Every structure is written in C-alpha cells, then in structure tokens.
Structure 1
C-alpha cells in the first residue's frame, strides 16, 4: 500500500504541500481552495480559466452595446447622439480657460481672404450662448421632437445629412445676409432646416401642415424682435436649404434613384461651400 503523503494525485498541482480531493472540471488536475474558480458546474484551475477567457468573444464597451441594442429597436440614436454631443460641448463651454466657444463659433470672415477656418460653418451648430441656458434647452427640445419624427421617416444617415446640410445652409445665410463681422452660435439653422424638410415632406405626402406653418411663422417673427439678438439669417438659410433637402428626399425616394439622391445632396453641399466663400471670391460685395 502506498503512502498517502507520497501520492501526488491527492495534492494541488500548483501547491504540492496542500492536500485536496477537488478536481478541475476541464483538465482533471487536483486543485486546492486557493486555485479554484467556480464554474457553471464544479470548479476550474487557473490555467483553464486563462484559456477560457482567451477563447471568449471580445465584448464591446457598455455604451456601444446599448447604442447597438437601441439601434436594433429602431430608437432615434442619431437624434440622441446629436443632443448628447451638443450638451457635452455646452458643458465644456462653461469650463474657464478652454476657449471652446472661440474655436467653434461662426463668422462670415471665417471663410474669407483674411482667415480660412471652414470648420466653423458646421461646428457653430454645436455651440450655444452660455449667458442664456434657455437657448440650448429650447434648441435641444425642438431637435428631440422633430428628430424622432424625421429620423424614423428618413432613416439615420439621411436624417444626419439633412441636419448637417441645413446647418451649413444656416451659416451660408449668415454669410450673405449679415454684416461680415457678425458672430453666431447655435443649432437654430439646422433645426429650422428640420422643420422646412418636414413641411415639404408632409405636404408632398398629403399630411396636415397647418400647425407647422403656425409654428414656423411664430419662430421666424421672434427672430426679428429688436434687442433679442437672434440670428434670423441662419434661420432663413437653414429653412430654405432644409426644405430643398426634403424635396430631394421626396422626389428621389425610389430604390433605383438612390444614386441620383446622393448626387443631388453632394451637389447641393458643394454649391453651399462655394457660396460660403463670398469674401474670398467676391470681397467687393462685402
């Protein structure tokens, strides 16, 4: 009869001085309490656990997982993302010393023969007045309302294109209708573009538009109230361009017209970029 103390099968393979009668469920080796990791059935040793983790599928960050889950359920993730980015930028604007507003606001001279900072044509829709929190809250509330409607109707990529192109249109409106030294911030141009597109789509599809007309009229009139310092030029530019994008979507909604739709959107964007260069090619008009 062999001596139990000399039988290695009854001792932990990692700690030979520790007797145990528990086996790894994967490799069958003896493991002590310190080396045991609970498994769905029994326990496994450290080496098997390491191998199991290496073979497990890589998981993505929780934020991406939740966004993908929401996307699969048809949630307006682009709308939520635009609101999230805008709110995050607004909070950064409040941090002293960062100068976020100075980097992102728009002025017609940002695309002139004096300065060349074309990113401001778009980045201005993500910054708001820090002196009036009502500014960002009202814009984001309106984006939340129309974003849910239009993103579900158009699809995510078309909706994002509409928002950005309308925002670009708002900046071009400021270039041609404002003093060159004007400075503007806010998503109003892009949001008026959403309303313009929704109006065109609703009318084309036979929907009710009376309330939307009233809402648009009220907001346009507010823009002209003396002393309110509202960039009505961005409102008009965004509204006109948004309505045009909406018309493009309606008239090219068939599957075999997708190429035409993309071409028209690219052409419109290029035209707006050229129009934004007023003070580069037509400085005398300023």
Structure 2
C-alpha cells in the first residue's frame, strides 16, 4: 500500500499533517484547531455549535449578567461632557433645561407665561413643542457661577450615580437598567411640570438617581438581601431629599423615586419564563404612557387647550 494514502491532514488546514480527531465530529484536527474538552479535543466548529446550546446565565429580572457596569460609566461620562459643554457655552442650559412655559421679553428677561403673546415677546419651553426638555434637563447641572451649590450639584449627583449604578446595573442587566433610569428621569420631569411653577426651570440627574435608589431597595428585598444596610442607605436618600428641598426641585426627586420604584417592581416581580419579558415591557410601556399623557394634559392646560407639536 502507498504510504502517502495513510497520511491524514487537518480539515481546516489541508497542508498540516495530523492524527488527532475531534471527539464530536470525528474530523482530523491540527494542534492549532484543538480545543480541550472533558473528553479528548473538539474542533472550533463543534465548540461554536456547543456554545449555542448552552443557556446563558440571567439576572433575577431576566437581563444578561455583566460584571462591568458599562451603562453607568457612559451615563457618568455623558453628564460630565455635557457639564463641560455648558460651562463653555452657558446658553445650552437655557435651551435644554426642563421648563414648562415662560415668556422672554424684548429685553431678554423672563416673564410669566400668557397664552396671548404680547408684542415683542416669545414663549419657550414645553408649551412651544420643545418636548425634548423632559429628558435633556436630566443631563444638565447648575454651573459654578450659580452659588456655592453649583459645582457641588454635579459632584454629588455623579458620586451617587457611580455608587448606585455599580450595584443596580448588574442586578437588572444593561438594557433594563437604562430603561429604568430614563423612565425615572422622565417621571421626575413630569412631576415638576405638574406641581412646580411652569416658569421655573430645573436641571439635574436627581430624578434618575432617586429612581435607582428605589430600584435598589426593591431588588434587595426581592433577592432576600440583608436589609439593614439597604435601609440605612434609603434613610440617607430621604435625608438628602429633605435637605436639598430648598436648593433643588423636590418634585423631581419624588417623581424619580416613585417612577423608578414602580418600574423596579414590574421588573422584579414579573412571572419567570416566557412571559417575563412581555409582562415587563407592557408595564413599562404603561408607565411611559401615563407620564407622557400627564405631561401632554398639563401642557395643553398651559397652552389654553391646544397642545403644540
């Protein structure tokens, strides 16, 4: 028999002689293609096929487990970048801060909003269709020139976001975490619109942060964590709410806390299995519709019955 007929080569590298077979597909594989297995070696294709059948670990709410809180890092970086931009160009704050309705006179000063615009005046805020303010205001902060609380505003908010995010994001998964944060920010803006002076502008990430605080409490109870530390943290959060009431918008804090808590309850207590994601999505969508509906109703009232689009 010709000795060349007995030479075997790797199925992926035909020029490489080899004598080891994949224990799954029985094809010859060279050292570069060998992947250690419980018994023998597998080829790269069999390893890839096997990975598809392995069920990935999930968080208690159904999100993908991730050790690195990427979304938290991105949110902190985005807030800091926006803060740097507003220091360079302060007019950014006037354009994107959370604002219901006010008038700007020919002198550039702000006046109480009236549905019938006086000559030379123009309106600004949600009442003119600037709906993006409901979220953009949550990424702006007080500037250093706005009193002693200016720089401290973003420092405190980012420290809280950093601490809470690194705990809550791995428990929720990235997508659910981001949705909850944005919903809580929206809820904070909506409560400001409903309860505060519509001509009073607000900025800050506090709504989203208080929403994360509520989520931390709900999730900790859901997983049976030691509530002593959690309760102490919530007490500090409430103290923060009381002490900052005269400096920042307590409405944004409470709105974020309630919205974040409701979203966390929906995520944590949805039935496990195939209906978990549909139930979570449905409840979160209802929360979004309630917040948007309340904002539209309030703006319609301010506009005298007509809603600007």
Fold-level similarity (TM above 0.5): yes
Distance 2:88 2:183 in 1: 29
User: Which residue number corresponds to residue 166 of structure 2?
Assistant: 148
Q: Are residue 267 (structure 1) and residue 286 (structure 2) matched?
A: yes
After superposition, residues 37-52 of structure 1 pair within 5 angstroms as none
Distance 2:65 2:180 in 1: 22
**SS, match of residue 168 in structure 2:** helix
Distance 2:287 2:70 in 1: 25
Q: In the alignment, is the contact (CA less than 8 A) between 2:66 and 2:170 conserved in 1?
A: no
Q: TM-score if structure 1 supplies the norm length?
A: 0.69
User: Which residue number corresponds to residue 133 of structure 2?
Assistant: 120
Distance 2:212 2:153 in 1: 17
Q: Which structure is higher in RCO with an 8 Å CA cutoff and minimum separation 6? A: 2
Cα offset for 1:73?
6.8
User: Which residue number corresponds to residue 234 of structure 2?
Assistant: 213
**Alpha-carbon displacement from aligned partner over 1:67-101 (angstroms, at most 9, x marks no partner):** xxxx99731110000011110000001114x6221
CA RMSD of aligned residues (A): 2.0
Cα offset for 1:223?
2.6
Cα offset for 1:106?
0.5
Larger radius of gyration: 1
Q: Which of 202, 214, 217 is matched with 2:220 structurally?
A: 202
Cα offset for 1:232?
0.5
Q: In the alignment, is the contact (CA less than 8 A) between 1:105 and 1:185 conserved in 2?
A: yes
**Which 4+ residue blocks in structure 1 deviate beyond 6 angstroms?**
none
**5+ long unaligned stretches in structure 2:** 1-63, 102-124, 145-149
**Alpha-carbon displacement from aligned partner over 1:151-207 (angstroms, at most 9, x marks no partner):** 100000000001100000000110111011110000001100100111122223332
User: Which residue number corresponds to residue 104 of structure 1?
Assistant: 96
Q: Which one has a larger percent helix, Structure 1 or Structure 2?
A: 1
Change in Cα spacing, 1:234 to 1:270, as seen in structure 2 (3 Å) is same
User: Which residue number corresponds to residue 245 of structure 1?
Assistant: 263
Distance 1:73 1:107 in 2: 37
Distance 2:66 2:205 in 1: 27
Distance 2:91 2:271 in 1: 43
Q: In the alignment, is the contact (CA less than 8 A) between 1:176 and 1:278 conserved in 2?
A: no
Q: TM-score if structure 2 supplies the norm length?
A: 0.64
Aligned residues: 209
